[in-house]
């Protein structure tokens, strides 16, 4: 035999040298939850090891992430009070905007401070937009709220706004608002191909969601692959600086399509359900926890993600370093 592929697998050094893809701490983004009024971290039962932070524990976690070399943090606010329009999202004194200012000061430029731009954490009905008189999501009225939310987050110092609401035209609306207000350097991450997934379950606990029903009229149908690329192309045309595929695990085909076609960076979100499944299996001794974590994130990178949002970001970065 001439062809013996095993030659390149013979030793750890050879495997390392010939690896086609590898992880780096700067490719990792840590999602973080900050709970209004919390005096100490509050564990999230469905996501072992993840907490709703108090502002004090939040600062420590930012310092740890920066020291590990993590590329960025994505912030989610957990407010004490909610209403129909999500007014806390645009209040400069609201928990997400307060946490953003804290994060910018604490990070000191060592990582990119990013914020989730969506109303679901702040509305009493739990949807990502405002409702019309018939209880349906009003797309265009929601865009008005997104514009205001974008300005509040940019004023608080967010460097990148994560538009996760899946309203049609959201990137164009937010880009226009930022430009008009002089926030020309604030970047937009379009959650372009965001699917109506069962794997968001633990996240609902993490943000204390009030959702009744589902989000299938605005998040994408899991059956659709081509539509994912269409959404990505629309977000790029509207001015997105980065686009997202979410979730990651069950949508690696969509991620690969996006990576092949997108002129801007493509990120993927390893969501709460993906995290919870690995942690649960590892806790039962059914899988090797570290190997499963590394393999899962490497698979997302291999499919084409330029960066990965993962709740293990700081831990993985520590292993890599």
Residue 237 lies in a domain: yes
Closest CA to 186 of 213, 220, 150: 150
Can you read off the two tokens belonging to residue 289?
Answer: 């926890």
pLDDT tens track for 84-126: 999 999 999 999 999 999 999 999 999 999 999 999 999 999 8
Q: How much is the pTM?
A: 0.96
84 within domain boundaries: yes
What's the confidence (pLDDT) of residue 80? Answer: 95
The arithmetic mean of pLDDT across residues 42-46, rounded, is: 96
274 domain-assigned: yes
Active site members: 194, 246
Which structural domain, as residue segments, surrounds residue 86?
Answer: 24-320
Give the orientation angle of helix 55-68 with respect to helix 313-320, to 10 degrees: 30
Section 162-180 average pLDDT: 97
Q: In CATH, what number is assigned to the domain containing residue 121?
A: 3.20.20.70
According to the 3-state scheme, what is the secondary structure of the chain? Answer: CCCCHHHHHCCHHHHHHCCCCCCCHHHEEEEEEEECCCCCCEECCCCCCCEEECHHHHHHHHHHHHHHCCCEEEEEEECCCCECCCHHHCCCCCHHHHHHHHHHHHHCCCCEEEEEECCCCCECCCCCCCECCCCCECHHHHHHHHHHHHHHHHHHCCCEEEECCCCCCHHHHHHHHHHHCCCCCCEEEEEEEEECCHHHHHHHHHCCCCCCCCCCCCCECCCCCHHHHHHHHHHHHHCCCEEEEECCHHHHHHHHHHHHHCCCCEEEECCHHHHHHHHHHHHCCCCCHHHHHHHHHHHHHHHCCCEEECCCHHHHHHHHC
CA 49, CA 147: separation in Å to the nearest integer?
34
Domain membership flag for residue 8: no
Q: pLDDT value at position 208?
A: 79
User: 130 and 141 in contact (C-beta within 8 Å)?
Assistant: yes
Only one residue has tokens 């959702």, namely 211
Q: What is the count of structural domains for the chain?
A: 1
Residue 129 falls within a domain, yes or no?
Answer: yes
Q: Which of 162, 204, 6, 34 is nearest to 102 (CA)?
A: 34
Q: Are 238 and 175 in contact (CB under 8 A)?
A: yes
Strands 42-43 and 51-53: antiparallel
Two tokens, residue 286: 């059914």
Residue 182, in any domain of the structure: yes
Q: What is the pLDDT of residue 182?
A: 98
pLDDT tens for each residue of 193-246 = 999 999 998 888 888 787 777 888 989 999 999 999 999 999 999 999 999 999
Q: Is residue 150 part of a domain?
A: yes
What is the per-residue pLDDT across 4-31, written as a single tens digit (0 to 9) for each? 999 999 999 999 999 999 999 999 999 9
Cβ-count burial of 59 within 10 angstroms (0-12 exposed, 13-18 middle, 19+ buried)? middle
pLDDT of amino acid 183: 98
Is 10 part of a structural domain of the chain? no
Predicted confidence at residue 178, as pLDDT, reads 98
Task: Provide the token pair at 278.
Answer: 């690995």
**How many CB atoms are located within 10 Å of the residue 205 CB?**
16
């Amino acid at each position: 035999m001439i062809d013996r592929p095993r030659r390149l697998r013979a030793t750890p050094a050879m495997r390392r040298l010939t690896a086609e893809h590898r992880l780096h701490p700067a490719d990792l983004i840590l999602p973080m939850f900050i709970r209004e009024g919390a005096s100490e971290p509050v564990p999230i039962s469905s996501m072992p090891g993840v907490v709703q932070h108090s502002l004090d524990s939040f600062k420590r976690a930012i310092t740890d992430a920066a020291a590990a070399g993590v590329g960025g943090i994505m912030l989610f606010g957990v407010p004490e009070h909610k209403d129909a329009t999500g007014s806390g999202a645009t209040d400069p004194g609201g928990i997400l905007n307060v946490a953003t200012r804290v994060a910018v000061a604490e990070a000191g430029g060592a990582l990119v401070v990013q914020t989730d731009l969506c109303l679901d954490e702040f509305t009493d009905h739990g949807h990502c937009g405002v409702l019309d008189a018939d209880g349906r999501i009003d797309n265009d009225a929601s865009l008005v709220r997104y514009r205001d939310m974008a300005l509040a987050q940019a004023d608080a110092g967010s460097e990148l706004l994560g538009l996760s609401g899946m309203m049609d035209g959201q990137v164009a609306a937010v880009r226009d608002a930022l430009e008009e207000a002089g926030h020309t350097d604030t970047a937009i991450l379009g959650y372009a191909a965001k699917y109506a997934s069962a794997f968001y379950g633990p996240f609902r606990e993490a943000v204390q969601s009030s959702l009744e029903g589902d989000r299938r009229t605005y998040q994408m149908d899991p059956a659709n692959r081509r539509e994912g690329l269409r959404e990505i192309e629309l977000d790029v045309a509207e001015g997105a600086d980065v686009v997202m595929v979410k979730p990651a695990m069950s949508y690696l085909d969509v991620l690969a399509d996006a990576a092949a076609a997108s002129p801007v960076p493509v990120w993927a979100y390893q969501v709460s359900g993906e995290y919870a499944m690995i942690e649960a299996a590892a806790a039962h001794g059914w899988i090797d926890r570290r190997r499963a974590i590394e393999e899962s994130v490497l698979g997302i990178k291999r499919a084409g993600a330029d960066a990965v949002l993962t709740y293990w970001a700081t831990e993985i970065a520590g292993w890599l370093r």
